[in-house]
């Protein structure tokens, strides 16, 4: 399992084929269209200049939208994940 550091979040990307009815459909022509995923693990958050930590605004299980090309792809035990900064997540789908 991956434990993300700082303000990083591990996300399982959801590809278009996996989307349920009523889900988020992305514009086909956009060059940097957002992507959808599920949060698998969150880091402890970033440290402010006054020494306190700000925990990420997302939690495990959240369905999130983020800009394409954010983060770094990692493969663990045959599964592919994305490690992305909390601040690169645009919104939670509720």
Residues near a copy of itself (CB under 8 A): 1-6, 8, 10, 22, 24-27, 30, 32-34, 44, 47-52, 54, 57-58, 65, 67, 72-78, 80, 83, 86-87, 89-94
Please state, in angstroms and rounded to a whole number, the distance separating the CA atoms of residues 21 and 51.
44
Task: Give the three-state DSSP class for 10.
Answer: strand
Q: How far is the CB of 29 from a copy of itself (least distance, A)?
A: 10
Q: How far is the CB of 33 from a copy of itself (least distance, A)?
A: 8
Q: Which is nearer to a copy of itself, 47 or 60 (CB)?
A: 47
Q: Which is nearer to a copy of itself, 17 or 32 (CB)?
A: 32
Q: Which is nearer to a copy of itself, 18 or 75 (CB)?
A: 75
Please state, in angstroms and rounded to a whole number, the distance separating the CA atoms of residues 50 and 77.
39
CB-CB neighbours of 21 under 10 Å: 4
CB-CB neighbours of 14 under 10 Å: 17
- DSSP state for residue 48 in the 8-state scheme: P
Tokens representing 18 are 């996996």
Q: How far is the CB of 23 from a copy of itself (least distance, A)?
A: 8
């Amino acid at each position: 399992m991956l434990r993300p550091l700082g303000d990083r979040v591990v996300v399982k990307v959801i590809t278009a084929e996996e989307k349920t009815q009523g889900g988020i459909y992305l514009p086909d022509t956009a060059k940097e269209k957002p992507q959808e995923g599920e949060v698998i693990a969150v880091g402890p958050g970033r440290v402010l200049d006054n020494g306190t930590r700000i925990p990420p605004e997302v939690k495990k299980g959240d369905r999130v939208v983020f800009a394409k090309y954010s983060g770094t792809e990692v493969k663990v035990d045959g599964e592919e994940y994305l490690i992305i900064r909390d601040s690169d997540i645009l919104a939670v789908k509720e």
